[in-house]
Amino acid sequence: MRTIRWMSLLLVLTLLTGCAGQGKREQKAERELFAMDTYMTVTCYGPQAEDACDVAETEIRRLDALLSVGNPDSEVSAINAAGGGELTADTKALMETALSMWQATSGAFDVTIYPLMTLWGFPTGDYSVPDGETLAAVRAHVGCDQLVYDPQTGTLTLAPDQGVDFGGIAKGYTSDRLGEVFAAYDLTGAIVSLGGNVCLYGEKPDGKPWRCGIQDPFAADGGRTLLGVLTAEDVSVITSGAYERFFTDEQGNVYHHILDPATGYPADSDLASVTIVSKSGIEADCLSTACYVMGRERAADLWRQSGASFDMILMTRDGTVYVTEPLRGSFTTDYPLRIIQ
């Protein structure tokens, strides 16, 4: 069995954003780090770029230590070991968003997915394909309807054999936190890439909007480098796809890390990747995972019901790109393009 983790948009971002600016915009600082199981880059522009980068790195490492299911000392590991507990400010915020998103997505996003992730071996890399009976037994414990959460006290009580995994929203939450960190510094702009998750703050050094390349999910199978390019400002652009993390069994079957809570198997929709564009990083991260599970039609319905608090770029497995109407003028692609209205 083998696993591949794509280095995502690091190179792409460098190509699209690496231009010189004027005056205080020229003051640039950059950090590359590995955290939350992925490669990250933080780039800040402005007089306090160095300080902002330092604080951003500290914040990323703090949240990684808190939220990593692979780290036995993390708060999430303690919650899972104890079957719940009193949540701190960060896990409380994550839990509350996870619960509202569980409802909004009719259960496609379910933070109690952890026992299934473990069964497939994703947290450790010790992969195996479970038999149907074992899978059904473990899946029976997955469901936010089985836990008890008190928002007044922040107390979480999990049902027996339940566990939580914030992996589907941790990076989006982190990007929102970094936005708060950056606000305290004199910056003209910043760009953060947390794996496939990109956050654009303020202005690009030349004063023009950022240009954000979206990775082609078919890149490794003869596709293009980029699915397309989005011009945007002050948003998170977060992508989920089966190509991000997967393993292959002896028969050549591919199993990826976004699971459908309804079946317990890797999500098997008509989508190859989902990109969500939103002011809220945590919403974008959650919805990219959920819409990947839901498939094109249900994702489009969710967008229609949402009152356009977010936008999306969907790539179907047959190589067609669908974008929501508001992105029509700011997204370009060489693939066949359809508009969701």
Measured distance CA(37)–CA(123) in Å, rounded: 10
Measured distance CA(57)–CA(53) in Å, rounded: 6
Q: Which residues contact 189 (CB under 8 A, 6 or more apart)?
A: 25, 44, 45, 46, 200, 201, 202, 203, 204, 205, 210
By the rule CB under 6 A, 266 interacts with ligand ADP? no
By the rule CB under 6 A, 217 interacts with ligand ADP? no
Of positions 196, 213, 228, 295, contacts ligand ADP by CB under 6 A? 196
Q: Are 310 and 284 in contact (CB under 8 A)?
A: yes
Q: Are 289 and 168 in contact (CB under 8 A)?
A: yes
44 vs 272, beta carbon nearer Mg ion: 272
Residue that is written with structure tokens 């890390």 in the block: 257
Of positions 193, 273, 288, 333, contacts Mg ion by CB under 5 A? 288
By the rule CB under 5 A, 41 interacts with Mg ion? no
Q: What is the total count of residues that contact ligand ADP (CB under 6 A)?
A: 22
Of positions 202, 261, 264, 281, contacts ligand ADP by CB under 6 A? 261
Q: What is the DSSP code string of 296-325?
A: HHHHHHHHHHTTSSEEEEEEETTS-EEEEG
30 vs 96, beta carbon nearer Mg ion: 96
Of positions 16, 94, 117, 284, contacts ligand ADP by CB under 6 A? 117
Which strands, in side-by-side order, build the sheet including 245-248? 3-5, 245-248, 254-256
173 interface partner picked from ligand ADP, Mg ion, none, CB below 5 to 8 A per type: none
167 interface partner picked from Mg ion, ligand ADP, none, CB below 5 to 8 A per type: ligand ADP
Q: Which of 302, 301, 292 is nearest to 268 (CA)?
A: 292
Of positions 21, 168, 202, 266, contacts Mg ion by CB under 5 A? 168
By the rule CB under 6 A, 258 interacts with ligand ADP? yes
Residues that bind Mg ion (CB under 5 A): 168, 285, 288-289
Residues that bind ligand ADP (CB under 6 A): 109-111, 113, 117, 122, 165, 167-168, 195-196, 240, 244-245, 257-259, 261, 285, 288-289, 293
